[in-house]
Structure 1
Amino acid sequence: MLLIGGLVFLLLCVFGSFAASGGAIMPLVKSMPFELITIMGAGIGTFLMGNSMSDLKHVPGAFKTAIKGPDFGRQDYIDLLGLLFFFTRLAQTHGVMALESHIETPMESTAFAAYPKIRDNKRVRNLICDYLRMISMNMDDAFQFDEVMTRELSKNLKEDTHIAHSFQTLADALPALGIVAAVLGVIKTMGSISQPPEVLGEMIAGALVGTFLGVLLAYGIVGPLAVRINSVVEEDARYYDLIRVVFVAYLQGNPPQISVEIGRKDIPVPLMPSFEEIDTTISELAIG
């Protein structure tokens, strides 16, 4: 909602102040559709040239991400720590083979069933199961485990932020595309140099609308959109990284409760639950 509210406020301030100061709206209204077609058409063309088909499929999801915000909230972090505690405690008390029934058929697992949002999120579920499987296959070197998981998380983050970087590249190009539209308007004006001054003045004003729109779209809309997408993706990446932190802490020889506490300390401050909340959560878990 902040994204939409900010956009509305931006447009009201820009066009409202222009109208309130006595600016002529008609040249804007008459020229804007054609200038937008030139600028946005060229922008979309460059965007298509710079991305693959698989990248373009993520564009609708990127807009949804920007509007909706992060997928994971405070309770989601609490739930994840509770589930990770269950698995690490189960491995400690009953051995790593006790994990097999949960990681091979997670959709039927009673542990995952207690946290349906985690169970139904394919990426989170697979990340937990894949690395618990490595632990069950005696991959107990914490440094090697950390390196492998860090590489995967870094790869995923790079792929997830690619579309944001593409939007930023588009934002960088829009002012120049606005100049292209303005130059075309000037060429059109020069072709009508015999017209009366009032007509030429309106045509020149229309040409300048191209530069105005290019800068406004770049720094007022597309640029902030790219920043918003990137920040949301990076915030969600902290949720996935929490899995790595807890598992690595456990493999380093820490008890499950200490491993979870180490993970809690890595949660972003606005979302970090208190020690008491986590202690209450894990004390209610039954390890069969």
Structure 2
Amino acid sequence: MDGRGVTVNEFRARRLATLGLDPAEVGRIVELALAEDLGPRRQDVTSEATIPAGQRDVAEVVARADGVVAGLDVAAAVFEAVDAELVVELSADDGAHVSRGDVLAVVSGPTRALLTAERTALNLLCRMSGVATHTSAWTRELAGSKAQVLDTRKTTPGLRSLEKYAVRAGGGANKRMGLYDEAMIKDNHKLAAGGVAAAFRRIREASPGVTIQVEVTTLDEALEAVEAGADFLLCDNMAPPLLSRIVAAVGDRAQLEATGNLTLNTAAAYAATGVDYLSVGALTHSSPILDIALDLRS
């Protein structure tokens, strides 16, 4: 392993690209995950000691709980990276609602390789499916309103692209990928720059084409931001009555996002204010995994 990443095979690369994932980035993530598990000698001491080198088996990837699956092709890339002789046949699609006992994929080939890849593949698949399942719950709560649920940058280091993909698989939408693709003026920026208008002006001068979002905490701040030219406002820690007033005052001059301390129990009330989005960091920082296992066929 040279740190440049696993080369995903051509078939898997096409599938990943179709899903909106960069095959090269997936390869780098798989490489790091395998290196963490196998160590510098790339060795599974248990499987090598207990399983004859020529043994071959078939295994099923099985849901142990109800949920929404995401990351099947990523998991397949792990198996294929460990041994090109492993053949992965997917039995479900990302974004599908699955039930306990459903077979999501069948993997066949050298048994040592199967068991060596098992945990790394499942770690990624379970994590991504957990994010998709959690996102799906928010999507159901917002059904019937115009509001969409958004993710944030509160992601697991190194897994942002996979977790944001999982949000999409669960029916949610993505905000900016990082600090580089959109500008976001938050409270500390306003304090450092001397106000919303000053911060907005400086960003527009430095990066004329960048989208600028502004975090606001009062009606006056919202109106100031819109007058400065902002077309996307983050309404932070506001109760629904105040949000409703801002929606009425801003109209269609900017898109509005509710953010801060949102829960599934309050989602419908916030959506009813007329905001366009609910931003939920918990989609990625607090989603439990979806339990998925690998079982050898007897």
Q: TM-score over 0.5 for the alignment?
A: no
Normalising by structure 1, we get a TM-score of: 0.24
Question: Whose strand proportion is higher, 1 or 2?
Answer: 2
Question: Whose helix proportion is higher, 1 or 2?
Answer: 1
* More contact order relative to length (CA 8 Å, sep ≥ 6): 1
